[in-house]
Amino acid sequence: MHSNQSNNPVEVLTDGTALKVLLQGDIVGYSSDDVLKKINNISSEIKKVVFVPDDLQNWDSSLILLVYNTVRIGKAKNVDVQINKLPKNLQELVNMAFAVDRKPEKGGKTMLSFLERIGRKIIGEFNIIGDVIGYIGEVFVGLLRFLSFRSIMRRVDFYAALEDCGPKALAIVSLISFLVGLILAFVGAVQLQTFGAQIYVASLVTIGMCRIMGAIMVGIIMAGRTGSAYAATIGTMQVNEELDALQTMGLSRVDFLVLPRLLAMILAMPILTMLADIMGMIGGAFIGVFLMNLPYQEYWKYAFNAFTLNNFLVGVFHGFCFGFIIALCGCYSGLTCGRNADSVGAATTRSVVNAIVLMIVVTGIITVICQEIGI
């Protein structure tokens, strides 16, 4: 046996067709470059490398690196590297390093029958409905906590949400409502002129805007402008694991994220609906006075005669309901968002689509109810 290295915690010894790596004492912060160079330059006569712990005491990751690289070199040179004499935990770490990360094998696709596909779809929809009902229940419980002054909602979050869906939305709501009133008046005038009743354009625009059109236009605008922002903001928090952090700290996500946005939207929507009614009437007046040459005083006389408290309150109630729907859909889409960028985009789209669909459904329900009770 010939010794190639001495006075070293790691000694390389040659013994015929075997190369022994003798480990002794403390191997901490050890640089194994020289040892690996010798192992890498072994002759073709060497058939195996054996690690022999001789009074091995303290060791750290530098020993793991030495063993790992030796095994790697042995695999490349088709040399058997034996580590079975090393401490068991060291063997496990080295074996783990060489473990293959296998992907699960793809099983063959099984075609489901038509009834099975329908059944799975129905079960999935019922699961979603259950999640939505649970979410709505959490929101109402949060509202009860707010009314009993036990909510953890921060006032600054409410003010920020109110500013976003209130003052910052005035310009776009005013412009769109003005144009909708203008278009409504123009379309009505084309038909009413054939009967010489163009003065009733004022009544048409006033009733249409105050009762339903103003609220619907504001709802669509706010669903695309603010509801989608709610979904994107909360969805990004989901991607960044901020929602998990809130849950870890024991904070209610509904109180902390949903309530400020919900209360701000419920408060802002009726006010924006009233603004839309006024701007729509002004847009109708623009058509009636400047394009149809109707007397200014006469136009507003018919407009005020058509304005009733019932129509006005029905429109404001629509706005209140739409605000509730937009905030719920936006926050729910954000809370159920996935954990990647595509999921945030999908959640944003889903919030707008769901809000608009629900607003149309609620409009039909309210219209039928008002018709039945004579409002």
Residue bearing tokens 């039928």: 368
pLDDT digits (tens, 9 = 90+) for 18-53: 888 888 888 888 887 888 888 877 777 777 888 888
pLDDT on residue 2: 42
- Name the nearest CA neighbour of 329 among 350, 310, 311: 350
Model confidence, pTM: 0.67
Of residues 165, 212, 220, 214, the one with CA closest to residue 356: 220
Q: Given this model, what pLDDT does residue 250 score?
A: 78
213 vs 17, which has greater pLDDT? 213
Contacts 24+ apart (CB under 8 A), 155-158: 157/256, 157/260, 158/259, 158/260, 158/263, 158/264
Q: What is the band of 108 on the pLDDT scale with cuts at 50, 70, 90?
A: low
Domain boundaries defined on the chain: 2-97, 152-373
Domain 2-97 part of CATH 3.30.750.24: yes
> DSSP secondary structure string, 145-162?
HHHTT-----HHHHHHHH
- pLDDT digits over 276-326, tens only? 999 999 998 888 888 888 888 888 888 888 888 888 999 999 999 999 999
pLDDT 10s digits, 134-185: 989 989 998 998 888 888 888 898 999 999 888 999 999 999 999 999 998 8
Quote the mean pLDDT of the chain.
Answer: 85
Distance, CA of 347 to CA of 154 (rounded, Å): 25
